[in-house]
Structure 1
Amino acid sequence: MNFDITILGSNSASFAYGRHHTSQLVNHNQCLYLIDCGEGTQNQLIRYKVKIQRIGHIFISHLHGDHYLGLVGLISTMHLQGRTDELHIFAPAGLDEVITLQLRLSDTRLNYPVTFHEVNTEVAATIYENEVLTVSTIPLNHRVKCAGFLFKEKPKKRRIVMESLHRGYTNFHLNLLKKGEDIKDENGEIVYKNADVTLPPKHSRSYAYCSDTRYDERIIPLVQHADLLYHESTFMTDMEQRAYETFHSTAAQAAQVAKTAQVGKLMLGHYSSRYKELEPLLAEAQEVFSNTILSVEGETLSIACE
């Protein structure tokens, strides 16, 4: 079961040095989820050969243009290409008005249904789930209502060591073993003790996406032990006051969140246009949390299944 994150855009409010507005694509178990949709996202999806009709759910962190202005164009292209499947959009209040107005004034009648889900940015809550995955909100500290998103696999079943099974068994018995139960005969005698014929479940992986935010320690327990944390790092420490005033973070602050939360890996992003070269941001963060990388457009990170 794959769990991949592709970087579509990595810059902040302006295009610069070939870097685009914020957007990422999560591919979990061949289901595609788009996170944020800044201007140019559609071109990036095409550039990296993503089949846009496979995107079923879009998560918008907040209503600053560099995080959603590419959305109406993407919706329109899906329409022009004959989409019929429903599209679900999760966002803070107001995005439905923006998109509906644009479609109405352009006299665009979509071939497919779009369902808007209003996100409460003040609380951490599960806003989406399927059989194997949940998506929960991470309240963030920004100038407007803003939430990050935690993609987390549901607990997995135990793994059966088939070579340990020597008597007759059915699929019903196998399902019981996967759930951690023993197999008993009609007299209540244990035929197979679960611990003897199964292995522990594989690790349930997680990806935490923290969009625009001031440094805020309230984030830490919500991203604790995430396998991969994306945390905005708009500025370096010499611009810490500017970061605070604009409700953003420095690379060192992002690294401090990662260190305290004991995540597996930190990914920086949302770079200010003042930085042509990004290595200094990386170096600053790695002084605090060594397992830090830069988000680089076009690169795909896979969270390994242990």
Structure 2
Amino acid sequence: MTAPKYDVLGIGNAIVDVIAKSEEAFLVDEGLAKGSMALIDEARAEALYAKMGPAIEASGGSAANTLAGLGSLGGKAAFIGKVKADTLGEVFRHDITAIGVDFPTPAATDGIATARCFILVTPDGERTMSTYLGACQGLSVDDIDEATVKDAAVTYLEGYLWDPPAAKEAFRKAAEIAHGAGRQVALSLSDAFCVARYRAEFLALLKDGVVDILFANEGELTSLYETDDIETALKAVAKDAKLAAVTLGAKGSAIIEGSERIDVPAAALEGPIVDLTGAGDLFAAGFLYGHANGLGLKRSAELGGLAAAEVIQHVGARPQVELKKLAGEKGLI
């Protein structure tokens, strides 16, 4: 087997985030479930944007955020996702290529606009998301570049991409190509509400061996196994997943591979939690960097925890410091 060109190929929604601070009363008034991600149409997107407070616009999308973190650690990455040839599409392409991520997917020249996600951050740092998928819904098997998949040690899918039907088939094709080339496939569950929509399908991906590495937080994993007890869920996933990396908030993370379980404490914070947006994405970035470079499960989880800790101490879902330098200072790489 030839050495991979990329540590990770991310397949996900190409989205521009619109981030604003919000009081909980605003969520109630707008009928938004705190901490969730809801899909909205274009009319609702325009109405919500008009009511939001001052906002920061930044390229986002779960898998794209992970790749941004991976690049900050010095990893090599590529991304497959759909934008339109419009202003926000150009912003997304510029931002992801500027951090060294290859983005071979051509922009759509017609149809609906580039996607955007409205992220409302309450004073406790929790984020509530309303997503207009826009051009993301056009991602199909035709956008899966076989050579790029074969060139990646890990092909990583965000669970949010399970909403557009054509994207499911795109991921299945990518997984087939990856396994045919002797590579691994990873899945992030993304959101407990997303899990509730596709529980049976996600479990089938694990049990059928389509997914080699599962990423989840406590709420997502307990939703997957329909239990309120995280230990019950962890025991269940040990039977279904080849490798699971589960984040547990302030308790750190649990890494499970067969009968082996490694509990890793959370990284120390230098300041207060400001915005939890991207915490899981950045944990995946650190873990995948370590895993693809043979650093072992514990060190990979420590890198994930460090990356997550950095991103939750500022607004926005991408690193504001060079994670490679930060990890070096901590003796992790």
Quick check: which one's helix share is greater?
A: 2
User: Which structure is larger by alpha-carbon Rg, 1 or 2?
Assistant: 1
Instruction: Say which structure, 1 or 2, has more relative contact order (CA 8 Å, 6+ apart).
Output: 2
Of Structure 1 and Structure 2, which has the larger fraction of its residues in strand? 1
TM-score, scaled relative to structure 1: 0.37
